[in-house]
Amino acid sequence: MRWYRFTIIGLHAFTTFHYVLYEQQLSNALVFYFSLYIICSMDIKQVMKKEILVEFVELKKSIAIELDNSQSPKTVNAILDNLPIKVKINRWGDELYTDKTPIIAEDENAQSEVNLLDVAYWPEGNALCLFYGPTPISKKGESNKILPYSPVNIVGKIVSKDDILNQMNDSNSTVIVKPK
């Protein structure tokens, strides 16, 4: 019976394994580590969370948003690439949405229903949307269902405790979206 001694260097895990195996165990070990290498070589998505600020100029207040690329990574990157953004913001029911921004992104896992405090990008209008509650097209009596005007790419959550919505009137005001 032969003994084999070998070293496997895990490039992706930055780990080195040292083994001494019997001849019959060698083929099983090689199959296992080849499979492990293939799994480690796969393109694993990196979830990135980054906080940005939305500064309401006239109100002299800011809210924090946590961008999360798990649902719309290309859209989040497009947002980050275009910061800072100075734009008007409007109110539509309990949604705040910006005028057209320089951000350009296609539908990316676009959603027709959003959750409370979601932040989204609206591809149809090149706008950012902050969902504080139902919109005028949300069905009455179904307070949990928040419906945007058309499908949006979810890009994050509002993390500030301030309820800026009640301080906004129907007229638009200026916001500056910038890195924190």
24-38, 69-83, 108-122, 161-175: least confidently modelled range: 24-38
Give the 3-state secondary structure of residue 144.
Answer: coil
Q: How far is CA 178 from the centre of its chain?
A: 16
| 8 A C-beta contact, residue 123 and residue 106 | yes
Residues 4-27 have a mean pLDDT of 48
Name the pTM for this structure: 0.73
Give the 3-state secondary structure of residue 28.
Answer: helix
At which residue do the structure tokens 């939305």 appear? 54
What pairs with residue 22 in β-bridges?
3
| 8 A C-beta contact, residue 98 and residue 89 | yes
pLDDT digits (tens, 9 = 90+) for 143-163: 679 999 999 999 999 999 887
